[in-house]
Amino acid sequence: MNTPILQATGVRAGYQGCEVLQGISFDLHPGEVLGVIGPNGSGKSTLLKAVTGLLPLLGGKVQIAGKDLSNLGFRERARICAVQPQVETPLFDYSIREFVLLGRHPHRPLLGRAGPADLQAVDAALTMTDLLPLASRSIRSLSTGEWQRSLLARALAQETPLLMLDEPAAHLDPGHGYDTHALLRKLSREKDRSVLCVSHDLNLSAEFCDRLLLLSNGRLRALGTPAEVLQETLLQESFACSALRVTTNALTGNPNVVYAR
């Protein structure tokens, strides 16, 4: 198998002396979509912050593109890895286009103006996220779902080999949620992008992820294909929900998680 673009070894991280992640190890290969699932408070967002350098490690090691994370400068890191946070508050009243253009800063000289390549990348990102018709609108006028798609578009405009996304389909209607996951799958297959994607939607994760990483109480409970991870007893224990059942999607053959009253 090809060399991983992301390697996490024994990662420990937390907040104000409270350890959330307890020795998490995994890798992510070029062209792979790895979904991170688990209950609320299990450490999913903390894991993304830890492996992107937004949260200092309490232990363990992270390597991106063969380099130790601690040795990567901000701009170099941003040329390799684009991050979509779960929550972000806009500081200025940008248009959508201006906001998405912020994703091009790692590729431009300091104080340099946007060039043709930057504008082309922005148009492509707006098109992929179905935002091109809204490009001139103020980001402060957007619905929650439109804002979520703007965050994804900014990450896509960076044109990095690695995407780390925290709930990219949160607040989206079923159509845009499906399209978002299908887009990530397409980018992995056609552009060799690597995607680390936190999601609460187990069924979309089953359909579009190559592997799933299940967290529970800050520990790695399972890592493998959707069929290997989406096991009924394991999900019931991890999510503390005895109503969860795992069936098979009759159209795709992938696991399908449902509720039984």
Return all residues near 102 (Cβ < 8 A) that are at least 6 apart: 94, 154
pLDDT digits (tens, 9 = 90+) for 130-141: 999 999 999 999
Is residue 112 over pLDDT 80?
Answer: no
Cα-flanking dihedrals φ and ψ of residue 255, to 5°?
A: -60, 145
Is residue 1 over pLDDT 70?
Answer: no
Query: How many Cβ atoms sit within 10 Å of the Cβ of residue 162?
Result: 22
Write down the mean pLDDT value for the chain. 94
Q: Is the dihedral of CA 16, 21, 22, 27 positive or negative?
A: negative
Across the strands, what pairs with 61? 9
Taking residues 222-241, what's their average pLDDT? 97
Confidence label for 261 from pLDDT (cuts 50, 70 and 90): confident
Taking residues 94-113, what's their average pLDDT? 88
CATH number of 6-259: 3.40.50.300
The fraction of the chain above a pLDDT of 70, given in percent, is 99
Is residue 209 over pLDDT 80?
Answer: yes
pLDDT digits (tens, 9 = 90+) for 15-30: 987 899 999 999 999 9
